[in-house]
């Protein structure tokens, strides 16, 4: 019944397994207020070179500092932000904040190693006609070099064969930013897009990395992804590295970069700054 209404009238949200309809409506209202009041925070998780152990980048991950519930994880509110379209202003803010932070870290040590900042884009952000303009503005206002910004999109976004996908990717590449395929391996299986689109990084989904120590099948898959990426001239990032054993296996496979709790959790900017100031290899 609610589903029918939801289809006919977009004001009504479809209830999901994780939250009753009323809760989601409430969350939609809270989210709108959160955008206005600036309740979002960006945490930064280091990306480590498996060759040098150096921090070569960060992924910006949004959190919501809810006045009553405290820090809320993105899995709890991104789906609602997508449905309501609030993901667009929220994502724009994350992009601006992450670019500012990346530039600030660069200014702290201008002769330090070049680091990239990765920012996630959801389908709705990617389809928004202002995306390239928003990215250009974030770069201009922060003074961050375009080549230091990586935009992460999922396979399903790229596989959506609309002509606009090609156009948008072209516009973004023309700005000089880099592109990563996030959660690689969990989406569609057609790989032809890797040749057609100007992708720079593959991020191997955590679900594969998880099992590489125990499950020979997972190890074969990840090793195959690394070889495929390298044959296509792409860099590979392993997501969700939690153990020394996984790290050693990934290194043996020739994986380029890794992120995960083994190195560091996503950190508030001050803590990430402290970590950078220590400047000791994490790997």
Interacting positions 182-211 with Mg ion (CB under 5 A)? 182-183
Q: How far is the CB of 241 from ligand C2E (least distance, A)?
A: 6
Instruction: Give yes or no for residue 57 binding ligand C2E (CB under 6 A).
Output: no
Secondary structure letter of residue 15 according to DSSP:
P
Q: Which is nearer to Mg ion, 155 or 182 (CB)?
A: 182
Nearest to 270 by CA among 40, 72, 44: 44
Instruction: Give yes or no for residue 121 binding ligand C2E (CB under 6 A).
Output: yes
Cα distance between residue 279 and residue 283, in whole Å? 12
Instruction: Give yes or no for residue 106 binding ligand C2E (CB under 6 A).
Output: no
| 65: enclosing H helix or E strand | strand 55-66
Name residue, tokens 């500092």: 65
Instruction: Give yes or no for residue 78 binding ligand C2E (CB under 6 A).
Output: yes
Nearest to 44 by CA among 96, 88, 86, 102: 102
Secondary structure letter of residue 267 according to DSSP:
B
Q: Cβ of 8: how many Cβ atoms within 10 Å?
A: 9
Instruction: Give yes or no for residue 152 binding Mg ion (CB under 5 A).
Output: yes
Q: How far is the CB of 8 from Mg ion (least distance, A)?
A: 31
Q: How far is the CB of 184 from ligand C2E (least distance, A)?
A: 10
Name residue, tokens 């509110």: 77
Binding site for ligand C2E (CB under 6 A): 45, 61-62, 73-75, 78, 91, 94, 120-122, 125, 152, 182-183, 206, 239-242, 259-261, 266
Binding site for Mg ion (CB under 5 A): 120, 152, 182-183, 239
């Amino acid at each position: 019944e609610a589903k029918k209404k939801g289809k006919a009238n977009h004001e009504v949200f479809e209830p999901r397994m994780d939250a009753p309809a009323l809760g989601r409506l409430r969350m939609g209202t809270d989210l709108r207020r959160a955008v206005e009041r600036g309740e979002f925070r960006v945490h930064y998780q280091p990306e480590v070179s498996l060759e040098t152990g150096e921090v070569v980048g960060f992924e910006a991950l949004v959190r919501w500092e809810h006045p009553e519930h405290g820090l809320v994880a993105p899995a709890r509110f991104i789906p609602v932000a997508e449905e309501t379209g609030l993901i667009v202003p929220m994502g724009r803010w994350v992009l601006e904040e992450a670019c500012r932070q990346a530039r600030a870290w660069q200014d702290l040590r201008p002769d330090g190693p070049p680091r990239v900042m990765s920012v996630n884009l959801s389908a709705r952000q990617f389809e928004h006609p202002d995306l390239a303009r928003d990215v250009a503005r974030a770069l201009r206002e922060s003074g961050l070099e375009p080549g230091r910004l990586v935009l992460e999109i999922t396979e399903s976004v790229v596989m959506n064969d609309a002509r606009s996908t090609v156009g948008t990717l072209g516009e973004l590449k023309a700005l000089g930013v880099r592109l990563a395929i996030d959660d690689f391996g969990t989406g569609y299986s057609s790989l032809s897009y890797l040749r057609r689109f100007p992708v720079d990084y593959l991020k191997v989904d955590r679900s594969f990395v998880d099992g590489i120590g125990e499950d020979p099948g997972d190890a074969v898959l990840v090793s195959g992804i690394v070889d495929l990426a390298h044959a296509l001239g792409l860099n590979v990032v392993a997501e969700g590295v939690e153990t020394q054993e996984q790290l050693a296996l990934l290194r043996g496979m020739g994986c380029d970069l890794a992120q995960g709790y083994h190195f560091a959790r996503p950190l508030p900017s001050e803590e990430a700054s402290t970590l950078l100031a220590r400047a000791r290899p994490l790997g």
